[in-house]
Structure 1
C-alpha cells in the first residue's frame, strides 16, 4: 500500500510488558508546566521567538486534528487549509488523534467510510484510534482500517484475540509505532488510546487495553533502540492524561492529543526548564480548527524552538463569508455524500402511542412526558457506561419540538434535539444537586431554557419564594422507593455537556467540571434518544409527578389535591402567586383555554368563529381551536359566551367530545336525569360510564350546577388518565 506524502517504516507489533521507567533521554525529574504564547498575525503563520537554525537542526510542521466526530460540513475548507500549510513549509506531517466515528448522520449512514475518503484524499500520515472507533464493534473498525491509506498506531491495545483486527496487525496496518521518513529525517510516532474505551464503547470481550504510561515507556524504548530521537505520542487519552504522560515518560518530544475536545490555543510545555521539553497540543473538536505546530529539533533530537496555533477553519470576514475557501474536489465529494443523508432523516426509528410534549411553553416551566422520556434515556445511557449513575437532568431549552403520536422518524428526533450535545456524568454532593435544581427553577416565571427535567429523582418547588430558596423537597429513587436526598452524600448525575460547562447558568456543574469531577461519554443527545427508543420500543411516556409546584390554597388531605397538583405541574392551569382558587367558578372561555393547552390543539388562522368573540379577545385562539376540534359548538344564536360559567352538563359534553369517550354497557342511575337538558343526557351518561364522574352522593348529577376550578381539575385529570 502506498502512503503518498511520506515514506513509512513500520515497527512490528509487540504486546509491551510493564517497564521500570528508566528509558529515554535525560534524567528522572519533576517537570514544570509552561504555556507558551504563539498567537499568529495571519491566518496561517504563527509568531514565535525564532532564532537562526543551526545547520544540523531539523524543522518540522505537525498538522493535527482530533475528535472530528463525522462533522464533514467544514471538511472542504479544512483540506484547503492543509494544502496551504504544505505549500508554505518544507517538512510537514498530518496526524489525527482519534474519534473520527460517531456524532452526525454521516456516521449513521457511512460508518466512518465517508470521513475516510476525505482523509485519504488529503493524505493523513498516521491516526490513533479513539474510544468511539470501537462504538460499532471490531468489524466496523476493521473495515475502516482496511481502507485507510495510512497506518493506525496503537501501542497499548492487545488485538491478538480479536481475529478481524489481529489480521490487520499481522499486515502491519495496525502497529504500536511507525517511523516516518520526512525528507531523510526519521520521526517516530506511537499511539495511545484511553483504557476507558472498555466501558465507553463496544470493543467486545477479546480486546485488552493496557496501562497507557507503561505502554508509552515501552514504545519509546522500542523507537530509541532503532535510533529514533524525535518522538511524537499520538494520543486519545484526554488533556489531564497527556500531562501525566509528559511527566512520567521520558523521551517524548510532542504529544498530539484528543478525547477531551480541549482547545489548546497555545502549546503547553512540560519540562522546559530542564532543557528537554515535551510539547502538548490539542485542536478542540468537529474539525473547527486545524492544529499547526512548528518545531525545531537539534542534532540530538531535542526541541529547541516551537510555535503553534489553531487555524480557524470556520472563520468569516466582516461580510459573513468564509475566509478559507472550499477545496472544489472535496466540496463535490461532500455534496455527493450528503444527498443520501436527507433520505436517512425519513427513516422510521420508533413509534409512540402518545403525543410527546416538547412545546416551548411547557418544557420551560414544568414536567412533560417528553422531558421525562429524554431524562430517562440520558440516565439509561449513562448507566451502561457507569452503573453507579443514579440521577439525570435535561434542560428544557435543549428540547426544541414535540413529537406526535405514531411513527417517529430520525428527522423528528433531530428536530427535537438538534444540538448534538454530548453525554457526560458529574460527581456531585446532594447539596450541589439541590443547587442545580434551584438554578433550574430560578427563572421559571420567565420560561427560560434552564428548567430541569429529571430522572431518578423528583422534587417540589415554590415559585413564589426568592430564587435560590424555591426547592422545598428533593427525593431520590432507591431500591426501597423514594427517599430524601442526603446533602452530604456523593451522587453520579448524567446530563449534557452544554449545561455541564455552565450553560443556562448551571455554575455548580461548571465548578464540578473544572475540579475534574466529570466523565465525558461523548454520545450526542440524539443518539442517546434514538438508542433509548430502540430499547423501549413503543413509547408510552406519561406525566409522573416528578416535578411539582407548591399550591398554597389546596390542602394535602383534600380529595382534589393530587389532581390540582398534576394539572398545575402540567402547566395546564397556572397559579396566581401560589394560589389556585379551588372554589372559584370556571368560565366557558377558561375551559376552552385549558382544553386547548391540555390537548395541544392547533389554533386555526380564522379566529372570528363566534359573533361575540373578536380576534382581539384574549381567548380568541383557544375558542377557535375548540370550535375547530368539535369540542364546543356555541349557543344556537351563534355566540360563545366566554364569560358565562360552565355547568356540569356542559362539562360532560365537552369532555366526552374532547377525549372521544364512548358509551359502554355499564348501567348508570341518575336520580335527576329529567333535569338534564336533552342535548346533554347521553354525554352525562357516557361520562359516568367511563368513571370520569361518579355523580353526587345522593345519586344525582346536578347538571346545572356551576363547575369549580378544583372540580374541573379533577375531571380533567381523570380524562387524561383514562
Structure 2
C-alpha cells in the first residue's frame, strides 16, 4: 500500500468512528472520499496583498490559489470547487474589466459552480449578463427568480454532480436585495423566502434526485447577533432538514473549521465560511462507506 493511500485510509477510518463503525469492520469497507473546496467574497482580488499591507501582508492571490487547487486535485480525484458569491467589486480590475477577468480566471481554475452575491449586481443586471459568456461554470440561485429579466435561463436553481458513484446536489440561496442593492440594478428579479425555497430544493435533491450529499451555496451571511430576526446560515441550518453542508458568504466571517448546527430533525449540519478576498481556501472532506453512511472533517487553508 502506498504511503499516501495508507494515510488517507487511516484518516478515513478515524473519521468513520463517528458513524459507529469499528476499525475491524472498516477493513472490509469500501470508502469513497469527496473533497469540497470553496471560496467566498473574493471581491475581485486577483493579486496577493502587498508585503506592507497592515493586515493581510503577502496573502491571497489567484495564482497561489490555482496552484493549491491543482495540488489537491492531484492528490484527490473526487473534488468539487465552489464559490458563495460576491465575485465582483473591490479592486481596479473590476472597475476596468467589469468582471470579465474574474470569470475567466475562475473558469481556468475549473470552478464547478457559484451562487450570486449582492455585489455581483454592482454593474447592474446588464453588467452581470454581459460577463456570463466568460463563465465556464454554473451559476446557482434557487430563490432569485430571473424569469422577467435578461438573466432568465442563465441561472439554475441546483445542479447534481456525480463523483465516483456519489451524487452531490448543490443549490444556491441569495440574500434579500431590497434595501441592500438599488432596485434599478436588479430590476425585476424576485426574491423568494430562503427557508421555504431551501426546503423545496432539499426535497427535490433527496427524494427525486436521490442525492447522497446536499450542499447549499449561501450568500445570506453567517449570523446577525444584533438582528435576531434576520435569516442567516445558522438559522437556515436549524430550520431545515437534509442539508449536509452550508457554504456561506456575505459577512466575511473567518472560521478555522466548520460550525456544527443541529437541524429540525436533530441531525448535524456543517456551516462554513472562509472570510474574504481569497485569503483562505475552505476544504471539507466527506467519507462515504459502502452503505452511503458518511463522516466529515473540515478546515480553512491559508493561501
Counterpart secondary structure, 2:178: helix
Equivalent residue, structure 2, for 1:101 = 88
The CA distance in 2 between the partners of 1:64 and 1:114, in whole Å, is 19
CA contact (8 A) 2:15 2:287 kept: no
The CA distance in 1 between the partners of 2:37 and 2:140, in whole Å, is 17
Equivalent residue, structure 1, for 2:68 = 81
Residue 40 of structure 2 is aligned to residue 66 of structure 1: yes
Equivalent residue, structure 1, for 2:157 = 176
Instruction: Write out per-residue CA displacement over residues 610-668 of structure 1, whole angstroms, 9 at most, x where no aligned residue.
Output: xxxxxxxxxxxxxxxxxxxxxxxxxxxxxxxxxxxxxxxxxxxxxxxxxxxxxxxxxxx
Query: In the TM superposition, what is the alpha-carbon distance from 1:299 to its structure 2 partner?
Result: 5.4
CA contact (8 A) 2:32 2:164 kept: no
The CA distance in 2 between the partners of 1:300 and 1:107, in whole Å, is 47
Residue 228 of structure 2 is aligned to residue 230 of structure 1: no
Aligned counterparts, 1:107-126, within 5 A: 107-126=94-113
Residue 299 of structure 2 is aligned to residue 312 of structure 1: no
Query: In the TM superposition, what is the alpha-carbon distance from 1:84 to its structure 2 partner?
Result: 1.2
CA contact (8 A) 2:247 2:271 kept: yes
Residue 133 of structure 2 is aligned to residue 165 of structure 1: no
The CA distance in 2 between the partners of 1:191 and 1:248, in whole Å, is 16
- Using CA pairs under 8 Å that are at least 6 residues apart, name the structure with larger relative contact order, 1 or 2: 2
Equivalent residue, structure 1, for 2:229 = none
Q: Quick one: which of 184, 193, 197 aligns to 1:215?
A: 197
Compared CA separation, residues 302 and 254, structure 1 to 2 (3 A): farther
Query: In the TM superposition, what is the alpha-carbon distance from 1:298 to its structure 2 partner?
Result: 4.6
CA contact (8 A) 1:138 1:165 kept: yes
Compared CA separation, residues 271 and 120, structure 1 to 2 (3 A): same
Compared CA separation, residues 301 and 201, structure 1 to 2 (3 A): farther
CA contact (8 A) 2:166 2:211 kept: no
CA contact (8 A) 1:65 1:287 kept: yes
Counterpart secondary structure, 1:306: strand
Residue 119 of structure 2 is aligned to residue 139 of structure 1: no
Query: In the TM superposition, what is the alpha-carbon distance from 1:251 to its structure 2 partner?
Result: 0.8
Aligned counterparts, 1:234-253, within 5 A: 234-240=217-223, 241-253=232-244
Compared CA separation, residues 300 and 221, structure 1 to 2 (3 A): farther
Residue 254 of structure 2 is aligned to residue 263 of structure 1: yes
Residue 180 of structure 2 is aligned to residue 200 of structure 1: yes
Counterpart secondary structure, 2:130: helix
Compared CA separation, residues 276 and 299, structure 1 to 2 (3 A): farther
Instruction: Write out per-residue CA displacement over residues 290-345 of structure 1, whole angstroms, 9 at most, x where no aligned residue.
Output: 11111223556553x222111111xxxxxxxxxxxxxxxxxxxxxxxxxxxxxxxx
How many residues align? The count is: 260
Counterpart secondary structure, 1:55: coil
The CA distance in 2 between the partners of 1:123 and 1:204, in whole Å, is 27
Instruction: Using structure 1 for the length normalisation, give the TM-score.
Output: 0.35
Query: In the TM superposition, what is the alpha-carbon distance from 1:145 to its structure 2 partner?
Result: 2.4
Counterpart secondary structure, 2:64: helix
Equivalent residue, structure 2, for 1:293 = 284
Residue 5 of structure 2 is aligned to residue 50 of structure 1: no
Compared CA separation, residues 160 and 83, structure 1 to 2 (3 A): same
Query: In the TM superposition, what is the alpha-carbon distance from 1:215 to its structure 2 partner?
Result: 0.6
Taking only aligned residues, the RMSD between alpha carbons, in angstroms, comes to 2.3
Compared CA separation, residues 300 and 128, structure 1 to 2 (3 A): farther
CA contact (8 A) 1:283 1:289 kept: yes
Query: In the TM superposition, what is the alpha-carbon distance from 1:138 to its structure 2 partner?
Result: 1.0
Aligned counterparts, 1:570-649, within 5 A: none
Equivalent residue, structure 1, for 2:170 = 189
Query: In the TM superposition, what is the alpha-carbon distance from 1:130 to its structure 2 partner?
Result: 0.5
CA contact (8 A) 1:230 1:301 kept: no
Query: In the TM superposition, what is the alpha-carbon distance from 1:48 to its structure 2 partner?
Result: 10
The CA distance in 1 between the partners of 2:143 and 2:99, in whole Å, is 23
Equivalent residue, structure 2, for 1:682 = none
Equivalent residue, structure 2, for 1:634 = none
Query: In the TM superposition, what is the alpha-carbon distance from 1:238 to its structure 2 partner?
Result: 0.5
Query: In the TM superposition, what is the alpha-carbon distance from 1:47 to its structure 2 partner?
Result: 11
Q: Which has the greater radius of gyration?
A: 1
CA contact (8 A) 2:115 2:173 kept: yes
Compared CA separation, residues 271 and 298, structure 1 to 2 (3 A): farther
